[in-house]
Structure 1
Amino acid sequence: MNTLALTGLSLRVQDLERQLAFYRDLLGLEVLHSEGGRSALSPAGRSFTLTLVHEPTAPLRPQPTLGLYHFALLLPERKALAAVFRRLIEARYPNFQGASDHGVSEALYLADPEGNGIELYRDRPREQWPFHGDKLAMVSKRLDLDNLLAESAHSAPLDPETTLGHIHLHVASLDEAEHFFRQFGMEVMQGDYPGARFLAADGYHHHVGINLWARGRTAPPESTGLLEYTLWLEPSRKERLSSLTLSDPNGARVRVEGR
Structure 2
Amino acid sequence: MQFTRRHTLKFAGISCAASALAGALKAEGAVSVAGPASALPFALTTPMHIGQAALRVRDLDQMIEYYRSVLGMNEVERTARGVTLGVGTVPLLDLVHKPAADFESPTSAGLFHIAYLMPSRKDLARWLVHAALKQVPLTGFADHNVSEAIYLNDPEGNGIEVYSDRPKDTWVWSGRVVKMGTEPLDVDDLVKLTDTKRSDYEAAPPGMRIGHVHLRVGEIAAARAFYETAVGLQPTQDARSDASFLSSGGYHHHLAVNTWNSRGAKERNAMETGLDWFSLTVRNPDDLEAQKTRLRAAGYVLVEMENNVVEAIDPWGTRLRLVPA
State the partner residue of 1:84: 127
Give the distance between the partners of 2:204 and 2:188, measured in 1 at CA. 19
1:67 to 107, 110, 113: 110
Any stretches of 5+ residues in structure 2 without a counterpart?
1-44, 294-301, 303-309
Q: CA RMSD in A?
A: 1.8
- Tell me, yes or no, if the aligned pair for 1:184 and 1:233 is still in contact at 8 Å: no
Q: Deviations over 1:43-83 (max 9, x none)?
A: 1262x421001111111222242111001010010000011
Higher helix share: 2
**Partners in 2 of 1:238 and 1:68 — Cα distance?**
24
Identical pairs, percent: 34
Asked which structure has the greater RCO (Cα within 8 Å, sep 6+), the reply is: 1
Q: How far did residue 135 of structure 1 move?
A: 2.5
Matches within 5 A, 1:1-259: 2-44=46-88, 46=90, 48-94=91-137, 96-132=138-174, 135-153=177-195, 154-156=199-201, 157-182=203-228, 183-193=230-240, 195-214=242-261, 215-217=263-265, 222-234=271-283, 235-240=285-290, 241-242=292-293, 243=302, 244-259=310-325
Aligned length in residues: 257
- 1:177-207 deviations in Å (ceiling 9; x for gaps): 1111123331111112462110001000001
Which protein has the bigger strand share? 1
Taking structure 2 as the reference length, the TM-score comes to 0.75
Ranges in structure 1 where 5+ consecutive residues have no aligned partner: none
Does structure 1 retain, via aligned residues, the 8 Å contact 2:76–2:88?
no
Moved more, 4-13 or 239-248: 239-248
Q: Which segments of structure 1 move beyond 6 Å, counting only runs of 4 or more?
A: none
TM-score, length-scaled by structure 1: 0.93
Contact 1:24 1:30 in 2 (8 A): yes
